[in-house]
Amino acid sequence: MNESRNSRDTERLGYLQTLYSEAEAAELANGIESLIAQYASKVAMSAEPTRLTESDVALITYGDTLNESNTPPLRVLHRFHREYLAGIFDLVHILPFHPYSSDDGFSVIDYKVIRADLGDWDDIENLSEDCRIMADAVINHLSSQSRWFKEYLAGNPEFADFFIDCDPDTDLSAVVRPRISPLLTCYNDASGRDRHIWTTFSADQVDLNFRNPSVLLAVIDVLFFLISKGASLLRLDAVTFLWKEPGTACANLAGTHALIKVMRSAVSALRDDVVAITETNVPHRENVAYFGNGYDEAHMVYNFALPPLIAHSLIQGDGRHLSQWAKGLTLPSNEVCFFNFSASHDGVGVRPVEEILNADELQQLVDATLAAKGRVSSRTTTDGKRRPYELNCTFLDLIARAGEPESVTVSRFVAAQAIVLAMPGVPAIYIQSLLGTRNDFDLVEETGRARSINRSRHDYSTIESKLDDKDGLAGKIFTALTQLIRVRRKHPAFNPYAKFQVLDLGDSVFALSRGGKSDGRRVCSIVNLAGQNVEVRIAAELAGIDLLTNKPTPAGKHTLPPYAVRWLSS
């Protein structure tokens, strides 16, 4: 065992000792080592850690977003990647693909099984040969229909204390809630005893009890299994709530951070190029804490403040909040970065900007959602009040304006994605954004769930026709976004770890300098956020060739058309 491995094992034991007794920590450390040895023969160790590069752009999709009769959807996705996305998206985030009982996959019944209606593990492994796969590790909770929970209720000692049975008289008023549903759900065990189970998200999603060391070992086994099946990025879902301490907020506790550090250490010991990414939809200052010291926790953190700030900027034509926030972005090392996006399978969360936007500005986002006939999901605060938690709307419709020409809608939407693509870190585009999908009211009515508004399923032949129609909405958006991505992939200034600086070119403009001499040439990204012409003055050090048009942009005064995007290479 080399010195680096020894150091990593010692650190892991130290983290475990902050969570468990000395004896439990030692036993668990040995259990993790045994798992590493068990999976080593199934996982080819990379020769050296693989850093993310400017060519890494992620597509976020459900396994069954695209469908074709008599073909498993995962194979349809692979075909879509080969025919339309090769050389554009080198990362594909497939949302939970396991059997589930609710929440569109996020109530997992069996972590080691692929849904029969999607395909099989061969489909995942085959796709992983063409691109890197990000898999969801839904580890805060699992389905009440899962074998683990059924064995728990049956009294199987192997699963004793796998879940949290809490006295309903316990004062849990301080617990931070992402939902308005009850925190405890009553289940009857095999003996007829009432079990009041902790359910952060819904009655069907039973929280795992990480105070039991066996739970952590079982979860690490799940992570290793996903890696063995082709996943090289692991999205650790809803980890905000992993560690519970009644009497506290039960969110972002020190125990949670220690758990993430153990998981990162374990997966890195199995394979050095696996990327751990935390999904923590919380205020920005709490979110970035998951980077740890830059070497010991998440490799990437979802940049949750970015979507509502982009939406606010484009709705108001004012980028002051976006620019001020971006100026404050810092990273604890050059080995971590942000995961940037504007839209995902969930709605646009507003908690991350509660300390950035004031009440009136938050209400403006709510009003824009309602104007687009979207939905607004709420959460219950510790004082019993209900506040907006999530805007359920496609990002396209959120920032669109009724009655405007389609060309304006497209330009504004492309400007939004250009900001995502220029930000420091790895950009991600949700498949519904890539396809120009509008609010799916029929699906909301069918499911009764607000989030369904942005989770449309598409017939593959219909999508082919739409993308081939270059004059249609989907064709225009797809062509524009893929052009931006192709340009981005070629320039080292867009490396996820490259330097960045927010520039002041006026309130209606978001300007960002990426790269420098050490990163190759610099690129200045300029986006007009307003629906009218805006004059900007380009300094001599920023002047250069616009990568998007190959036209020179000399120093001096320039007029930017509404929602114009310029990527100037100097």
Q: Where are the alpha helices (DSSP H) in 274-344?
A: 284-287, 306-316, 320-327
Which position among 90, 136, 221, 237 bears the catalytic label? Answer: 237
- Cβ proximity of 280 and 296 under 8 Å: no
Rounded to the nearest 5°, which phi and psi values hold at 68?
Answer: -145, 135
> Is 523's pLDDT higher than 90?
yes
Quickly state the pLDDT bin for 365 (edges 50, 70, 90). Answer: very high
- Cβ proximity of 173 and 382 under 8 Å: yes
In 3-state terms, what secondary structure has residue 23? helix
Note the pLDDT tens digit of each residue in 380-394: 666 667 788 899 999
pTM of this structure: 0.95
Please tell me the predicted confidence (pLDDT) of residue 1: 41
Among residues 313, 299, 304, 298, the alpha carbon closest in space to that of 285 is found at 304
> Which residues contact residue 477 at a Cβ distance below 8 angstroms, ignoring those fewer than 6 apart?
396, 410, 413, 414, 433, 434, 435, 436
Please tell me the predicted confidence (pLDDT) of residue 520: 66
Q: What mean pLDDT comes out for the span 512-530? A: 89
**Is 346 among the residues known to form the active site?**
no
**Alpha-carbon span 56 to 481, nearest angstrom:** 15
Does the domain at 58-93+120-130+229-238+263-494 match CATH 3.20.20.80? Answer given as yes
Site of tokens 């700030």: 309
3-state SS of the chain: helix, strand, coil percent to 5?
A: 40, 20, 40
- The gap between the terminal CA atoms of the chain, to the nearest Å, is 47
Domain ranges of the chain: 58-93+120-130+229-238+263-494, 500-569
Domain 500-569 fold: Immunoglobulin-like (2.60.40)
Quickly state the pLDDT bin for 350 (edges 50, 70, 90). Answer: very high
Quickly state the pLDDT bin for 282 (edges 50, 70, 90). Answer: confident
Radius of gyration, CA atoms only, the chain: 24
Site of tokens 């699906």: 443
How many CB atoms sit inside 10 A of residue 41's CB? 8
Note the pLDDT tens digit of each residue in 191-229: 999 999 999 999 999 999 999 999 999 999 999 999 999
Quickly state the pLDDT bin for 180 (edges 50, 70, 90). Answer: confident
Quickly state the pLDDT bin for 248 (edges 50, 70, 90). Answer: very high
**Alpha-carbon span 263 to 261, nearest angstrom:** 5
What 3 state SS string does 259-286 have? Answer: HHHHHHHHHHHHCCCCEEEECCCCCHHH
Quickly state the pLDDT bin for 373 (edges 50, 70, 90). Answer: very high
- Torsion angle defined by CA atoms of residues 185, 186, 190 and 192, in that order, rounded to the nearest 10 degrees: 170
- From start to end of 155-261, where are the E strands? 184-188, 194-198, 205-207, 231-236
**Alpha-carbon span 124 to 247, nearest angstrom:** 43
**Alpha-carbon span 119 to 7, nearest angstrom:** 41
> Is 7's pLDDT higher than 90?
no
Half-sphere exposure of 164 (CA within 13 A, CB side): 27
Note the pLDDT tens digit of each residue in 62-90: 999 999 999 999 999 999 999 999 999 99
Please tell me the predicted confidence (pLDDT) of residue 43: 86
**Alpha-carbon span 288 to 209, nearest angstrom:** 25
- Longest distance between any two alpha carbons in the chain, whole Å: 80
Note the pLDDT tens digit of each residue in 101-121: 999 999 999 999 999 999 999
Please tell me the predicted confidence (pLDDT) of residue 283: 86
Q: What mean pLDDT comes out for the span 481-506? A: 96
Site of tokens 């950035």: 356
* Percent of the chain scoring above 90 in pLDDT: 89
Q: What mean pLDDT comes out for the span 176-200? A: 94
What mean pLDDT value characterizes the chain?
94
- Cβ proximity of 494 and 382 under 8 Å: no
Among residues 14, 24, 39, the alpha carbon closest in space to that of 210 is found at 24
Rounded to the nearest 5°, which phi and psi values hold at 141?
Answer: -155, 165
Q: How far is CA 86 from CA 59, 130, 345, 534, in A?
A: 12, 8, 22, 36
**Alpha-carbon span 383 to 545, nearest angstrom:** 55
